[in-house]
C-alpha cells in the first residue's frame, strides 16, 4: 500500500487558519472511541446498567416505614384535643420465591446486552467514517483530475486559436473548447462543495469543530492480498447477533420471574405505634401504645393469574428474539460472501481500467497528431480528451467502490 498526504480543506475566507486533523482508515477507530458522541453515550449506557446490578440490597436490607402526625380532633361531646400519633414498621424479606435472584440475573444480562450495543455502535460509526474517508479521497482525486483536464483543454484551446489565426480552422473550433472549459469549472466547483460537505459530516462523527479540516494520509488504492484480511475470527463479530440472543435470555428469565408470583412470600416484621385518643379511646398515652413482632406469609392469587399471562408472553418474545439472532447470524455470512465476490470483481476491474486508460491515452495522442495534420477537427480532439477523462474518472470510481465494499466487509467481520 502506497501512502501520500492530501490536504482536504473546506472553503474558508482568506487568511483564516484552519485546524488540520490527520486521519487514515487505521486511526479512525481510536478517534471515534475518544470523541464520537454516540460511542460515548453507549459507554454511559453500559455504566448505567452496571450500577443496577446486585440483589443483596433488594433481598436482605430491611424496609423501614416511619410516620408521624399532629392531629386536632373532637369526639362527641368531649372537648377538642390536640395529640400526636407516630410509629414505625420494619420488614425483612426471608423468602421471595427467588424473584430477586432472577431480577439480578436479568440486570447482569442487561449489562452484557448494552456492551454488545456499544460494540455495534462503534462498528456502525466506524463504517460511516471509513466510507466518508474513501469518498473524500475519491473527490480529492477527482479534483486533481479536473485540474489536469482543465489544463489540457486550455492547451487545446490555444492550439485551436493558433489554427484559426493561421487560417486552417474557423472560429467554431474554439467554441467547443470554451464551452468545455465552462463545464469543467462548474464540475470543479461542485466537487469542492461535495468535499466540504463530507468534511462537515466527518466533523460531526468525530465531534470536531465545524471549521476543522483533514489530511488524508492513505492513498486511494486497492489491496492485492485483500482476501487474507477477510478471514473471520471466532467471536469477533458476534456482537451483531448477541444483542438479540441476550434479549432472548432476558425474556426467558422474565418468564421464570413472572411464574414465581405464584410462590408464597415470607417476611419478618416488627412495629411500634403510638396512637391518639381518636384511634384508641384511652386517656393515658401509655395505654395507647402498640408493639408487634411476627412472621407474615403472603400469596396474591390475582397477581399470580396475571403473572401467568405475562410469563406466556415473555416466552414467545424470547423465541422471537432467538429467531432474530439466528437470522442476523446467517445474514452476516451472506453479507460477507456477497462483499467478497464484489471485491474480486472490482479487483479485476481495477486492472482492466488501468489498461483502458492506456488505450485512451494512445487514442488521444493519435487524434492530436491527426488534428495537427488537418485530418481531424476540434470535436474529434475534444471527444478524445473526454474519453481520456472518463476512463481516468472511472478508474477512481472503481477504486472508491473497492474500498467502500472492503469497509463493509470489515464491518461485517467486526474489524
Predicted pLDDT of residue 14:
37
Do residues 230 and 413 lie in contact, with contact meaning Cβ atoms separated by under 8 Å? yes
**Domain limits, the chain:** 6-73+80-413
Look at residues 253, 211, 239 and name the one whose alpha carbon lies nearest to residue 414.
239
Q: In what order do the strands lie in the sheet with 289-298?
A: 63-73, 81-95, 265-274, 289-298
Predicted pLDDT of residue 18:
61
Predicted pLDDT of residue 13:
37
Pull the grid cell for residue 101: 435472584
Distance, in Å, from the CA atom of 399 to the CA atom of 141, rounded to the nearest integer, reads 11
Q: How many CB atoms lie within 10 A of CB 230?
A: 16
> Going by C-beta distance under 8 Å and a sequence separation of 6 or more, which residues neighbour residue 106?
250, 253, 254, 257
- Calculate what percentage of the chain has a pLDDT beyond 90: 63
Domain at 6-73+80-413, CATH from 3.90.1150.10, 3.30.360.10, 1.10.3720.10, 1.20.1600.10: 1.20.1600.10
Do residues 344 and 406 lie in contact, with contact meaning Cβ atoms separated by under 8 Å? no
Residue ranges of E strands in 207-316: 213-216, 265-274, 289-298
Distance, in Å, from the CA atom of 96 to the CA atom of 229, rounded to the nearest integer, reads 52
CB-count exposure of residue 258 (10 Å: 0-12, 13-18, 19+): buried
Low-confidence residues of the chain, pLDDT below 50? 1-16
Amino acid at each position: 500500500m502506497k501512502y501520500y498526504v492530501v490536504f482536504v480543506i473546506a472553503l474558508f475566507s482568506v487568511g483564516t487558519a484552519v485546524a488540520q486533523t490527520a486521519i487514515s482508515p487505521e486511526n479512525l477507530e481510536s478517534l471515534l472511541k475518544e470523541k464520537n458522541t454516540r460511542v460515548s453515550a453507549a459507554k454511559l449506557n453500559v455504566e448505567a446498567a452496571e450500577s443496577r446490578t446486585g440483589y443483596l440490597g433488594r433481598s436482605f436490607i430491611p424496609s423501614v416505614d416511619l410516620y408521624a402526625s399532629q392531629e386536632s380532633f373532637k369526639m362527641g361531646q368531649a372537648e377538642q384535643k390536640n395529640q400526636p400519633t407516630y410509629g414505625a414498621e420494619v420488614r425483612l424479606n426471608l423468602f421471595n420465591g427467588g424473584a430477586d435472584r432472577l431480577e439480578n440475573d436479568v440486570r447482569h444480562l442487561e449489562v452484557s446486552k448494552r456492551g454488545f450495543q456499544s460494540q455495534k455502535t462503534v462498528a456502525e460509526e466506524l463504517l460511516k467514517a471509513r466510507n466518508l474517508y474513501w469518498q473524500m479521497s475519491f473527490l480529492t482525486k477527482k479534483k486533481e483530475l479536473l485540474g489536469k483536464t482543465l489544463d489540457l483543454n486550455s492547451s487545446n484551446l490555444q492550439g485551436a486559436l493558433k489554427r484559426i489565426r493561421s487560417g486552417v480552422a474557423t472560429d467554431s473550433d474554439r467554441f467547443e473548447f470554451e464551452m468545455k472549459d465552462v463545464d469543467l469549472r462548474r464540475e470543479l466547483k461542485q466537487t469542492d462543495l461535495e468535499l466540504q460537505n463530507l468534511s462537515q459530516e466527518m466533523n460531526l462523527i468525530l465531534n470536531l469543530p465545524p471549521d476543522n479540516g483533514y489530511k488524508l494520509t492513505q492513498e486511494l488504492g486497492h489491496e492485492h492480498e485483500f482476501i487474507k484480511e477477510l478471514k473471520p475470527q471466532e467471536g469477533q463479530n458476534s456482537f451483531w447477533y448477541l444483542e438479540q440472543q441476550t434479549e432472548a435470555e432476558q425474556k426467558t428469565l422474565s418468564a421464570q420471574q413472572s411464574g414465581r408470583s405464584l410462590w408464597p412470600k415470607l417476611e419478618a416484621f416488627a412495629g411500634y405505634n403510638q396512637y391518639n385518643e381518636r384511634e384508641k379511646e384511652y386517656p393515658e398515652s401509655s395505654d395507647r401504645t402498640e408493639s408487634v413482632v411476627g412472621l407474615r406469609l403472603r400469596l396474591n392469587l390475582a397477581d399470580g393469574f396475571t403473572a401467568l399471562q405475562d410469563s406466556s408472553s415473555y416466552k414467545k418474545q424470547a423465541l422471537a428474539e432467538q429467531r432474530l439472532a439466528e437470522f442476523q447470524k446467517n445474514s452476516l455470512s451472506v453479507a460477507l460472501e456477497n462483499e467478497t465476490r464484489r471485491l474480486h470483481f472490482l479487483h479485476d476491474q481495477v486492472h482492466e481500467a488501468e489498461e483502458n486508460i492506456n488505450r485512451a491515452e494512445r487514442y488521444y495522442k493519435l487524434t492530436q497528431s491527426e488534428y495537427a495534420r488537418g485530418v481531424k477537427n476540434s470535436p474529434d480532439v475534444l471527444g478524445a480528451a473526454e474519453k481520456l477523462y472518463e476512463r481516468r474518472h472511472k478508474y477512481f470510481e472503481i477504486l472508491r467502490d473497492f474500498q467502500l465494499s472492503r469497509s463493509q466487509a470489515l464491518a461485517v467481520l467486526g474489524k
